[in-house]
Amino acid sequence: MNLKLVTIVMTLLFSLPAWAEGRAVSYKVNGEDYEGYYISPDAKAPLVLLIHDWDGLTDYEVKRAQMLAEEGYAVFAADLFGAGVRPTKVEDKRQHTGELYKDRNKMRELLIGAMTMADSLGGNTDNAVAMGYCFGGAAVLEMARSGAEMKGFVTFHGGLKTPKGQDYSNTKGSLLIMHGGADQAIPMSDFAALSQELEKTSLDNEMIVYSGAPHAFTVYGSDNYREKADYKSWQRFLTYLGAVID
């Protein structure tokens, strides 16, 4: 992925109470405004690019970023919807995700812009993994299919379908897919289809199902939260990070 393809402008915003332990970052991708979040425990820390679910970038992703920083990782939590766009109604969430599902080129440009932003902030983009939740998981797989130079791609209860005309022939890095066995939004048939597709490639991949876990099983405070599946998937993620990035 060529980071020079997307022009960005960055402004660092400090003293935002909800994100006090890191930095809120305003940036532009192709002239449009976005607001991400960056945190790093060390200048040489490996980088995790974190992609939000269909709520947009909220305190949930910020908390996950802080958890990763405590483990020694720098994190850039990207914004794929736009500054101030944090939908709360289901119809609005569907609108914003649907627009990007229909415009895969724009989705890829936003992912390139996020990595460019992370690089500008001092993130170690040569030693990086992308991860995402729900919609963010689908975006991470889009990034994988694009041929982005990442060491790995991780999804938590993410969308798994491969769009028509796409495949994983250009993918670099391994894949870790974590899915709920009771997910009604993303059925096991999608999980099985992706497994079969990946088996036809030489890609290193691991696909895990957590029994009884519904969609969004990692989201604290929601009816779908499942503590056991959240804990097990997070520990597997940390082990994976330790294995694939320096």
Residues sharing a CB contact under 8 Å with residue 102, sequence separation 6 or more, in sequence order: none
What pLDDT is recorded for position 92? 98
Domain ranges across the chain: 3-244
Nearest to 45 by CA among 125, 137, 145: 125
Return d(Cα 216, Cα 53) in angstroms, integer: 9
Write out the CATH class of domain 3-244. Answer: alpha beta
Tokens standing for residue 26 = 């305003």
- Cβ distance 158 to 136 under 8 Å? yes
Q: What does the pLDDT read at residue 19?
A: 37
Which has the closest alpha carbon to 111: 68, 73, 140, 138?
140
Both tokens of residue 97?
């995700």
pLDDT at 21: 62
pLDDT tens for the 246 residues of the chain, in order:
444 444 334 333 333 333 336 999 999 999 999 999 999 998 889 999 999 999 999 999 999 999 999 999 999 999 999 999 999 999 999 999 999 999 999 999 999 999 999 999 999 999 999 999 999 999 999 999 999 999 999 999 999 999 999 999 999 999 999 999 999 999 999 999 999 999 999 899 999 999 999 999 999 999 999 999 999 999 999 999 999 998
| pLDDT tens, residue by residue, 58-105 | 999 999 999 999 999 999 999 999 999 999 999 999 999 999 999 999
